Chain A
Amino acid sequence: MRHVITALVMNEPGVLAHVANMFSARGFNIDSLVVGRTEDPQLSRMTIVVVADDRTLDQVRKQLAKIVTVVKVRDYRDTPFVSRDLMLVKLSASPRTRSEIIELASLFRGHVLDVGHNSLTVELSGEEDKLDAFIDLVRPYGIRELARTGMIAMARGGHAMSLVGEDGDGTSASAPSGTVPPLAQAGGRPVRAAAGRMPTQEELEATPPG
């Protein structure tokens, strides 16, 4: 099954190589891996789509969290999330077919970025399925070039992934929502639970409800 994982990582050389290398060394399959800057110049955000069963997904998440330069990890197995993929596609377009393609693109809420004598470049963003559907429709016109960014994703609701407020290895049970609870801000530092620390994902999963 395809799973989406996001990771906040330290913005420094070698981190991408480390993550990519960990995936190949442990035999995990990456569908796509996107990395880019965040609101914090010291952090980058990776969105990784992996094909894995639940147990492998656990290992992927834990192995990612183990890398010292990876700051936070979460997966979206049980969380509603929004996702987007961006595509640029250059199509063969004669004067006769040009308007048909433009019509299709606008049906898909795409934009025409460039028009040539025999070509048309369309920008399209959305969920991966939508992009796949568009590619299917325009294939008969002739795809000259195609580039996709790969998926980026974010949880629905106020839940945010940042340096404070969430446990490190992607366990989300401790912080109820995106804003840090007032208690946790005492002295400007997150305060640990009375039990010594927050439970890890595996501890939570192994605990019967109640």
Chain B
Amino acid sequence: MSTFTSPAGAAKGIGSARNKNQEKSGKRAPESRADGQSGDSTVDSGTGLPVLGWPTGRTDRYIGKAGAEIMLQMLVEHGVTDAFGYPGGAILPTFDQLYKKQINFILVRHEQGAGHMADGYARATGKPGIVIVTSGPGATNTVTPLATAYMDSIPMIVFSGQVRTYMIGNDAFQEADVTGITRPVTKRNYLVKNVHDLPRIINEAFIIATTGRPGPVLIDLPVDVTTSRVEQAIDDTPYLPGYKLYRTGHSRMIKQAMEVINRAERPVLYVGGGAILSDAWKEVRDLAATANIPCTTTLLGVGAFDEHDPRSLHMLGMHGSAYANYAVQESDCLIAVGARFDDRVTGNLKLFAPKAKIIHVDIDPSSISKNVKVDVPVVGDAKLCLAEMIELAEAKPRQAWFEQIASWKRQFPFSYRNDSELPKPQAIIETINQVTEGKAYFTTGVGQHQMWVAQFIRWRFPRSMITSGGLGTMGYGLPAAIGAQVGRPNDLVIDIDGDASYIMTAMELATIRQFNLPVKVAILNNRFQGMVRQWQQLFYGGRFSNSEMVNPDFAAMAESFGIRGMRCGRKEDVRKTVEAMIQHPGPCVVDFLCETAENVYPMVPSGKGLHEMELGLLASAPPNSGRELGSLA
């Protein structure tokens, strides 16, 4: 039976892994940023630019080594313990180095899987995910994972093989303009033309991927760069004159923000994935507690605030809770933390939070006033900014506001009617929530099941939700679960997937088998692309064009990979099946046959304001479920 690492222990990845590694290599260890404000040792006090925490400069330590050897050596020095990928001609020199097994390498079945695994690994651990693939199709298959990671600001580094430098541009075998193709979906990408540049570029890549607003970086490695040797002393100091890093917030802005917050009668905290990326959940909790503010989270922000806390409003947005959406629309002060006012959160922008002064804490200046005009911007790391804001917070009772929220919560809990012959997908998720008590890493695909997972798991731990938010990548769940399991080998990892999402990347079952990873998969099988079906039912006159799926027997399919497969189609079997799945020591796939004609509610139709959401059965009759979760308050 798996255990679950406490959130405080989770996600110190970047600092702790590096420390551990430097003890080994005898280098000066940087202080972990999780230690608090002294974490500024990762930043040069003069230039404000990030530093690696160990000396760089002109050095002869690379002399005589080939590019592939340098690459592996540097990965180890940067604290990399695991990587994902697939070999091929142009990357074979690097794979020859991997033969030494300095790092744990997960061989995948498709490069897209490698990318999502690295992404899931990064989200579960806080360490950058590493991908190593070949040129041409190997590299282009990572485009979807790169775009997924870029949208959700996930640190990831992809090393792709490339044809020899003198053949680039000649339409050589397995050649593609990979830097050209990936430029719009990477924070930075490189084509290394000379092995002498490689150490500097790898150092830069780790800084860019993991600092500021994190994101994916791609390094394209021609065969002759990985095979040729360094012949002279070279400088491996990162050169990033255009890289601006905001850490602490501007004191005047913080003061101004807190003046607005302390004056507010109906404030709402709106917390996004940035709070998780910056390990700021403690500060979010403390600000909500100290200043007495209710808190809602985005899809990527769930887990940043304990949903058992009475101040929790759960998720907001298109399929968020009615009480979170009403609270945002009624609030006089909206405090966004590491969130970007995505259209799935705001609904119609013209109608969004009309009465609110908007405070936006974000590390990326280009997020400020991009969609919604911000009144008080605080540019900086959420953890550091919130810590300063808490100092100025005044406790206010705000009794009327909390009473109003409590009444919305009583009136409009997440709910469904468990009245169909087949189990309802929400009931299965509720059961998983009860059995696990939320102590697991949950991954999802994209669609109805993803929204129900967000609604019916009671999120308590940062990083426990691993899902493709911005790009909405179907097929993300299974490989992301593999990545999370590699990063958290002793914890329970469950992919709660839809049948259509699952089968997009189901070949990675072979990876699970090969590396004996105890990933659990719960497929909510409604034989449809559920969200597409919902939209077709609601907005396209019930014309279910190409959304119905004829699926294999998922249990038998898993068994054919050598993985325990189970099937459950009766309500009374759900609980014992979930328990059997979680108690099974190895990997396990459960095919839950569930009700097809079930829609996700609440729902804000596109173009409508958040308060104009459709409530589903809440609008007509009192809910007869959701009560297993108590009042959700």
Q: Which residues of A contact B (CB under 8 A)?
A: 9-10, 13-14, 17-18, 21-22, 25, 55, 58-59, 62-63, 65-72, 163, 168-169, 187, 189-192, 195-197, 199-203, 206-207
B 242-282 to A, binary, CB cutoff 8 A, 1 in contact else 0: 11101111111100100000000000000000000000000
A contact patch SS: mixed
Complex CA distance for A190 and B48, rounded to whole angstroms: 10
- Are A69 and B188 in touch, CB under 8 angstroms? yes
B69 interfacial contact with A, CB 8 Å: no
B187 interfacial contact with A, CB 8 Å: yes
Give chain B interface residues in 28-63, CB to chain A under 8 Å: 45-48
CB-CB nearest in chain A for B379: A200
- Are B179 and A14 in touch, CB under 8 angstroms? yes
Give chain B interface residues in 349-364, CB to chain A under 8 Å: 364
The contact of B364 among A66, A168, A191, A206, by CB within 8 Å, is A66
Identify the stretch in B370-378, B491-499, B519-527, B624-632 within 8 Å (CB) of chain A at 4 or more residues: B370-378
Across the interface, which residues of A come within 8 angstroms of B370, CB to CB? Answer: 59, 62
> Contacts A21-B183, A189-B47, A197-B48 known; A68 to B252 CB distance under 8 Å?
no
B64 interfacial contact with A, CB 8 Å: no
> Contacts A200-B246, A202-B374 known; A10 to B369 CB distance under 8 Å?
no
CB-CB nearest in chain A for B217: A68
Across the interface, which residues of A come within 8 angstroms of B184, CB to CB? Answer: 21-22, 25
Across the interface, which residues of B come within 8 angstroms of A187, CB to CB? Answer: 46
CB-CB nearest in chain A for B384: A196
List 13 A-B residue pairs with CB atoms under 8 Å apart, sorted by A's residue number.
A9-B242, A58-B369, A63-B366, A189-B47, A190-B46, A196-B249, A197-B248, A200-B250, A200-B379, A202-B377, A203-B377, A206-B375, A206-B376
B581 interfacial contact with A, CB 8 Å: no
The contact of A195 among B241, B250, B365, by CB within 8 Å, is B250
Give the shortest distance, in Å, between A154 (CB) and chain B (any CB): 20
Complex CA distance for A197 and B375, rounded to whole angstroms: 21
> Contacts A65-B366, A202-B377 known; A195 to B251 CB distance under 8 Å?
yes
Complex CA distance for A191 and B376, rounded to whole angstroms: 26
Across the interface, which residues of A come within 8 angstroms of B247, CB to CB? Answer: 196-197
Complex CA distance for A202 and B380, rounded to whole angstroms: 12
- Are B208 and A68 in touch, CB under 8 angstroms? yes
CB-CB nearest in chain B for A40: B241
> Contacts A21-B184, A207-B252 known; A202 to B48 CB distance under 8 Å?
no
CB-CB nearest in chain A for B40: A196
Which 10 pairs between the two chains have the least Cβ-Cβ distance? A62-B366, A71-B242, A189-B46, A196-B248, A168-B244, A68-B188, A202-B377, A202-B368, A71-B241, A66-B366
- Are B242 and A68 in touch, CB under 8 angstroms? yes
Across the interface, which residues of A come within 8 angstroms of B249, CB to CB? Answer: 196
CB-CB nearest in chain B for A60: B366
B8 interfacial contact with A, CB 8 Å: no
CB-CB nearest in chain A for B189: A14
Which of A55, A71, A200 has the most C-beta atoms of chain B within 10 angstroms of its own C-beta?
A: A200
Give the shortest distance, in Å, between B629 (CB) and chain A (any CB): 41
- Are B365 and A202 in touch, CB under 8 angstroms? yes
Complex CA distance for A134 and B434, rounded to whole angstroms: 79
- Are A197 and B180 in touch, CB under 8 angstroms? no
Across the interface, which residues of B come within 8 angstroms of A72, CB to CB? Answer: 242
In the complex, besides A55-B369, A70-B242, A206-B256, 18 extra interface pairs with C-beta distance below 8 angstroms are A14-B180, A14-B189, A17-B183, A18-B183, A25-B184, A62-B365, A63-B366, A169-B365, A189-B46, A190-B47, A195-B251, A196-B247, A197-B250, A199-B253, A200-B250, A201-B365, A202-B368, A202-B379
Complex CA distance for A21 and B256, rounded to whole angstroms: 37
- Are A14 and B368 in touch, CB under 8 angstroms? no
Across the interface, which residues of A come within 8 angstroms of B183, CB to CB? Answer: 14, 17-18, 21
CB-CB nearest in chain A for B371: A59
B 233-247 to A, binary, CB cutoff 8 A, 1 in contact else 0: 000000011111011
Complex CA distance for A140 and B208, rounded to whole angstroms: 56
Complex CA distance for A13 and B190, rounded to whole angstroms: 10
Give the shortest distance, in Å, between A193 (CB) and chain B (any CB): 9
- Are A191 and B369 in touch, CB under 8 angstroms? no
CB-CB nearest in chain A for B368: A202
Across the interface, which residues of A come within 8 angstroms of B378, CB to CB? Answer: 203
Give the shortest distance, in Å, between A77 (CB) and chain B (any CB): 15
Across the interface, which residues of B come within 8 angstroms of A201, CB to CB? Answer: 365
